[in-house]
Structure 1
Amino acid sequence: MDNSDHSLDIAISGMSCASCVTAVENALRKIPEIKSASVNLATEKAHVALKEGMPFQPQTILKAIFDAGYGAELLTHTHSLKHHDDESANGIRIVMAILLSVPLIIPMLISLAGGQWNLPVWVQWLLATPVQFYLGAGFYTSAWKAIKNRTGNMDLLVALGTSAAYLLSIYMMLQGHEHLYFEASSVVITLVLLGKWLEKRAKRQTTEAIRALQKLRPETARVKRLDAELDIPLQEVMIDDMVIIRPGERIPVDAVIIEGSSHVDESMMTGESEPVSKVAGNKVIGGAVNIDGMLLVKTMAIGAESTLSRIIRLVEDAQTAKPEIQRLVDKVSAVFVPVVIVIAFITLLAWGLYSANWEQAILNAVAVLVIACPCALGLATPTAIMAGTGVAARYGILIKDAKALELAHSITQVVFDKTGTLTEGKPVLMAFKAVDGNDQSLLELAASIEQNSLHPLAKAVVDQLQSLGSSPAIASDVRDVAGRGLNGKVNGTVIYVGNQRWMDELGVSINTLNDLALGYKNAGNTISWVAKGNIGAEPTLLGMLAFGDQIKVSSSKAISALHDKGVKTLLLTGDNSISAARVADMIGIDEVLAEQTPESKASSIASLRKKDTVIAMVGDGINDAPALAAADVSFAMSSGTDVAMHTADITLMRSDPSLVADTIDISRRTYSKIKQNLFWAFIYNLIGIPLAAMGLLSPVIAGAAMAFSSVSVVLNALMLSKWRPTNKR
């Protein structure tokens, strides 16, 4: 296959800690066709980018991973999340381990209470052996793979530590001792198995966002073919198929409405809680719920090209990618296990030579091996990234990669485009004034002429009249005069609607309303004029129409929220300086750069970045793409062009600028969780290993602490799932 501009996702099984991640990544990076490889312990997936133009077979990757000692399976974009271990089977193994280990620990508990009782040594051996070599077989398998690959992992430490305790007990049993350490080896294995099981269950919750999105895909669609209605599997639906959607059903495909009207719940994709009104000509998103009307829609996108699939892909990619802070952790983890083995060996020699008590020396060395857990280090960053990107996606913030999420916490200035970002991006009739004072009549005449026009200004006039509860009259002989406007007859009178140039050509005097019009024009509005006339008579002015781009209701709140976070704001627009200044003043933006070209927008962003600041750019149009690419972090509105969304790091599924401040908020919280997790993971090892080496921790306590460290890191990251955007709190 030709892998031009291609990437692959692979499910990895058998990884136990950050050292395993390093081993898999090293194996992948040795393949010449691979440009980059990133392995995520929390998702148990690898994301591989391939070099352009080189022929390549996916089996090469799978073999490299297998040779490194791990399982691998190629994933497709429609692949559901897999869990390679059967949870129920693992649960049974843990119960068996507990039942076999509890009798071994009872004598220790009795001795702590001041009593004295021991199981017969042969019973201790019978209980401990299946735990060590049957239930704990996975540790040996994983450890052997690590040794073959000349690497170390958590399972190697557990296998070495528990084997040492088990063999010491065998030796002492043969010497006739009754006090053995089978409970140490068995309980450590049981605790580690339990910790891994709890960790997997906790990690499942970090993928709930993707799981919820995947559940939005209906399995079938009702398609209209040859005047018959057929329920067919979703994968058999084709582009341009006519699909029938009944009230209460989930929309199966991205489509455009051909017949019908309804309200649609798109909250799972956009985070918008209010249902959206949809009529013929509007687009609908696969996965949304049709609430109250029958719809006939024409399929526009299916499979991997649908909006829902692209959203899932974006979230998965973000969860697989690594931020810079994780790369440092990976470097530490690569040398962690060898260093721990050296410390354990030094502990063994030091205690054995100093105290001549080799029994205690072995136990202290075992405690060092058991408590040293690179698993917590490996999970600290990816679990926080997964939880952060997942909860953000739930509220309509799609973060493409972990780098954007990591960098967004340090944004110092946000640069906004105006049209479509802070404003609605479509003209609205701001004012209309009749010469004779009959404004309603003026609006009705203008709407009558423009009701069938596709021009945005014409639509604004008709929408305004309809909002007042009126309908336009029927007009005849309507014609479009290019570059000027429209004219036609209403009740036998010729009506002209157009620009000032046309009025000048027609000889229409606008002096009566010129001062009023000039005020609106200086405020950045577009002016149209309405005149009437009959054949043989000079037309006369009827009135004026002023159009503007309405500021979004949420824009002021968005700017205020950014200011509250200490973030500066700047308006960067191609509009004239008067219009730009008016918008900036109304919503409280700090600075304005107007009359910008796409090229100058990009150079302005580059200049701002030179001031040792982190710059974010928010836009929605093709002309914003260069500036979005030039920014440190870029945001695109989903209501904008595909070019902007493909260029941007973060897509806002609602056309709401306040989501920018929410993104910074979730980024800061996620980064805080990463730092907390890494702090506790490092501190845990910095304190635990010396205590174990000094003989202050038994292997059993060390095993419990190790299991707790991994679970606590995941649970801390899951606290992010409680995050809510400002308007949802």
Structure 2
Amino acid sequence: MSDTLSPSTTAEHPPEEVRLAITGMTCASCSARIERKLAKVAGVQSATVNLATEKARVRFSAPVTVDAIVAEVQKTGYGASVLDDTPRAETGSAAGPTPGAGELLRKLQARYARQDTGADDRAHTSDDQGDHLGHTPAQDVLKPRLIVAIALTIPVLLLAMVLPTFAASPWLELALATPVVFWCAWPFHRAAAVNARHLASTMDTLVSLGVLAAWGYSVVELLQGGMHLYFEVASVVTTFLLVGRFLEARAKDSGKDALRSLLDLGAKDVSVLRIDPRSRITSETRIPVGELVVGDQFIVRPGEKVATDGVVRDGSSAVDASLVTGESTPVDVSPGDPVTGGSINTTGRIVVEARKVGADTMLAGIQRLVETAQTGKADVQRLADRVSAVFVPVVLAVAVVTFVAWLATGHDLATSLAVGVTVLIIACPCALGLATPTALLVGTGRGAQLGTLIKGPQVLEDTRRVDTVVLDKTGTITTGELRLRSIAVRGTLSKTAALTAAAAVEQGSEHPVARAVVDGARLARLELPRIRDFQANPGEGATARIKDTEVTVGKAVLFEGVAPELLEHARSNAGTTVFVGWDGVAQAALTVEDTVRDSSKAAIARLRELGLTPYLLTGDSASNARSVAEQVGIDASNVRADVLPAQKHEVVTELQQSGRVVAMVGDGVNDAAALAQADLGLAMGSGTDVAMDSADIVLVRPDLDAVGDAIGLSRETLRIIKQNLAWAFGYNTAAIPLAAFGLLNPMIAGATMALSSVLVVSNSLRLKRWTR
């Protein structure tokens, strides 16, 4: 299944994407079968079905429609319902290409509030398949059947093992085992029948045949007066499998906790300020958060959640955004500062103006990115799916051959049947189908809690190979905000007087250097004099009159003379230096510098611990770059300065050609090409849409330490996946020969098969506790 379209096809029918909730899947062969069926539909470009999340993502274009896709899944024998806002019209109108990651960080459907109690967090079994598309939790479906199975199986086992000579024992066993075999095991039988109608077989086929064969043989034997009965086998196997399925459903549901916690982060209602058009009196009204519109001003009291992304208009407080971004330290906010929906106001009362609502918020985009990643498949999972697709028919053949071989070698019918049933039961590939999706489900969810959004399963594979990390300076290692760092003066002029004069002139400019000088004066609590006749000299500086003196602030070329000590100050200090003076002579030099993030040095040390060699890449001057590199611990030989935006891509390519596997971290439009070229692209979530669209991982926290979290968690998730697959493949490979040679009891086979699935899911759940 390829995502590739011919140019003509793309132009005529822009692709759409729909997400479906799938019911009735029980093993990897189910998901593989749905994928194969959808791939054969004209117009479907790709289909990915995830067993753990019970969702499908289908990319398609006309002539196929969403209704046709749903109908195809239902014809295959499974239930399907649409989770997307894709139009359900039969015309199949194209909605345009799937939005990129940057857009997704602001565009997630407001439907999540509905889905949290619907399809998104429901596990389904074949028991409710075909009746409806309602979403009954698997635990609720399985629990009564499991309770009845346990209650009836225990006496069956006692009668068979402890009281085999009791005259009524065989008939009591029949009476007790029959409800277990037919009612308790009904989910297995029904799924097997549905698939049989479509000439297909799944794990349920193996279970159903095994249980019915043991029960049916025992009934015939009982009616003929024989004593080789296997009622306890049919009952115990059913009970063990139900226990395994129940524990598996609980574990899978637990694995969705991270995504569910994201869904629960948003506020449910909000206090909005409304102005009466007649009286012009402002009043406070409580409304559901879904009714908020851009421009609304709402109140956030201490302890309340910020309802949506916005800007503080009144009041000041400290906002805890750890649940959304993973940033542990509350951030002080005051008028003009942005706040993120889902963060918690800790102290003062603030009034916020809504800037993004519903699907446009950061929290909504995070939810979408996480869910998209969880629905995808890594290469190792596709291999497991291909194996599972042919595994069940092969096992059926092996079971028949085993049964015939035992009969042919002189064994009685009962023994031969028991061995054949054991092969059927022990070979169920549940663990194989759950090995990758459960680990991916938990790993990506944990990443979201830490402020790390992994876009897809292939990213996990890429992190394993990376040995070099290229870091853009501005906005990545540094904050991207200029601050006044030093002042040098000549003669008797005081530094305070020089800063006052420079800031007075620069307050009329919007240039970042000018803003840094003005902010420096404000931090020093200086009172700035009034100016007049302000004139900007683009690219050079500005002039203005303070009282009767014309003051100039800017580059050296604006002055007739600059004292050597001021020029030396400019050369010896990293950053950008502007001069301030009058009468054509520079009297002082002010240096502003980008601020290094507090966490950058420790974060880079951690990257080294992960086996990565850090490189610094910047368009800034060599002196500035070396200064930053020295502060954070990057070798001078690994600094690339004076790099133009178009050259960043070339630097990454050069490193790759030298044999390095490169991860690129950036945040700006000028980083997009380099992010796309890198083997692994990581974009700071505070950056631009283009950068986030080009990246493989989006870091919601504006913190370089999130890079280490992303790579560390990705590698651990991949390690868990490999452990799961090794167990699943190894278990089936070793168990089938043991069963075929009669070395396993059918009851033990049922218990170990159920245990293997629980083991795989439980191993994946360890990722919930992952820390640095």
Fold-level similarity (TM above 0.5): yes
Q: Deviations over 1:327-362 (max 9, x none)?
A: 111111111101111111111011111133110000
Distance 2:402 2:136 in 1: 36
Give the superposition deviation at 1:493.
4.8
2:737 is the alignment partner of 1:690: yes
Corresponding position of 1:624 = 671
Give the superposition deviation at 1:672.
1.0
Q: Deviations over 1:624-678 (max 9, x none)?
A: 0011111111001112112111211111111222222222211221111111111
Q: Which runs of 5+ in 2 are unaligned?
A: 1-11, 85-108, 123-134, 276-281
Contact 2:145-2:183 within 8 A present in 1 as well:
no
Distance 2:732 2:570 in 1: 73
Q: Deviations over 1:11-32 (max 9, x none)?
A: 1111111100111111221222
- Shifted more, 198-207 versus 250-259: the winner is 250-259
Corresponding position of 2:129 = none
Distance 1:122 1:116 in 2: 12
Contact 1:107-1:118 within 8 A present in 2 as well:
no
- State the SS of the aligned residue for 2:474: coil
- State the SS of the aligned residue for 1:301: coil
- State the SS of the aligned residue for 2:481: strand
Contact 2:605-2:633 within 8 A present in 1 as well:
yes
2:96 is the alignment partner of 1:67: no
Contact 1:223-1:242 within 8 A present in 2 as well:
yes
Distance 2:161 2:641 in 1: 77
Q: Deviations over 1:155-199 (max 9, x none)?
A: 000001001101110111111134521111111111111111110
Contact 1:3-1:56 within 8 A present in 2 as well:
no
Q: Deviations over 1:95-125 (max 9, x none)?
A: 01111111111134537xxx96575222211
Aligned partner of 1:563 among 596, 602, 608: 608
Distance 1:338 1:573 in 2: 58
Aligned partner of 1:220 among 257, 269, 272: 269
Corresponding position of 1:551 = 596
Aligned partner of 1:35 among 45, 49, 55: 45
Contact 2:493-2:587 within 8 A present in 1 as well:
no
Aligned partner of 1:234 among 285, 289, 292: 289
Matches within 5 A, 1:609-620: 609-620=656-667
- State the SS of the aligned residue for 1:218: coil
Corresponding position of 2:345 = 290
Corresponding position of 1:535 = none
- The structure-2 alpha-carbon separation of the partners of 1:173 and 1:116, relative to structure 1 and needing over 3 Å to count, comes to closer
Contact 1:475-1:488 within 8 A present in 2 as well:
no
Aligned partner of 1:443 among 482, 495, 499: 499
Corresponding position of 1:529 = 579
- The structure-2 alpha-carbon separation of the partners of 1:387 and 1:494, relative to structure 1 and needing over 3 Å to count, comes to same
Residue identity matched to 1:473: L
- State the SS of the aligned residue for 1:419: helix
- State the SS of the aligned residue for 2:162: helix
Corresponding position of 2:145 = 93
Distance 2:13 2:759 in 1: 41
Contact 1:39-1:45 within 8 A present in 2 as well:
yes
Residue identity matched to 2:752: A
Matches within 5 A, 1:466-505: 466-468=522-524, 470-477=525-532, 479-483=534-538, 484-490=540-546, 493-504=549-560
Aligned partner of 1:281 among 316, 336, 341: 336
Corresponding position of 1:668 = 715
Residue identity matched to 2:475: G
Residue identity matched to 2:153: S
- State the SS of the aligned residue for 2:302: coil
Contact 2:44-2:64 within 8 A present in 1 as well:
no
Distance 2:267 2:198 in 1: 45
**C-alpha RMSD of the superposition:** 2.1
Spell out structure 1 runs of 4+ moving beyond 6 A: none
Corresponding position of 2:243 = 194
Distance 2:651 2:427 in 1: 50
Contact 1:104-1:119 within 8 A present in 2 as well:
no
- Shifted more, 255-264 versus 199-208: the winner is 255-264
- Shifted more, 685-694 versus 376-385: the winner is 685-694
Residue identity matched to 2:643: Q
Q: Deviations over 1:678-702 (max 9, x none)?
A: 1111111112111111111111111
Matches within 5 A, 1:108-507: 108-110=160-162, 120-226=169-275, 227-435=282-490, 436=492, 438-451=494-507, 453-468=509-524, 470-477=525-532, 479-483=534-538, 484-490=540-546, 493-504=549-560
Alignment size in residue pairs: 707
Corresponding position of 1:48 = 58
Contact 2:315-2:334 within 8 A present in 1 as well:
yes
Contact 2:426-2:736 within 8 A present in 1 as well:
yes
- State the SS of the aligned residue for 1:73: strand
Contact 1:19-1:151 within 8 A present in 2 as well:
no
Distance 1:494 1:654 in 2: 45
- State the SS of the aligned residue for 2:553: strand
Contact 1:3-1:50 within 8 A present in 2 as well:
no
- State the SS of the aligned residue for 1:235: helix
Distance 1:509 1:545 in 2: 13
Contact 1:411-1:664 within 8 A present in 2 as well:
no
Corresponding position of 1:13 = 23
Corresponding position of 2:127 = none
Q: Which runs of 5+ in 1 are unaligned?
A: 533-537
Give the superposition deviation at 1:151.
2.6
- Shifted more, 264-273 versus 55-64: the winner is 55-64
- Shifted more, 404-413 versus 547-556: the winner is 547-556
- State the SS of the aligned residue for 1:595: coil
Distance 1:459 1:597 in 2: 24
Aligned partner of 1:649 among 696, 700, 724: 696
Contact 1:381-1:677 within 8 A present in 2 as well:
yes
Residue identity matched to 1:577: A
Distance 2:385 2:70 in 1: 22
Q: Normalized against structure 2, the TM-score is what?
A: 0.88
Residue identity matched to 1:153: T
Distance 2:225 2:564 in 1: 117
Residue identity matched to 1:671: L
Contact 1:118-1:178 within 8 A present in 2 as well:
no
Distance 2:468 2:565 in 1: 46
- Shifted more, 231-240 versus 118-127: the winner is 118-127
Corresponding position of 1:513 = 566
Distance 2:400 2:451 in 1: 53
- State the SS of the aligned residue for 1:531: strand
Q: Deviations over 1:264-316 (max 9, x none)?
A: 11101111111111122221111111222222222222222211110000000
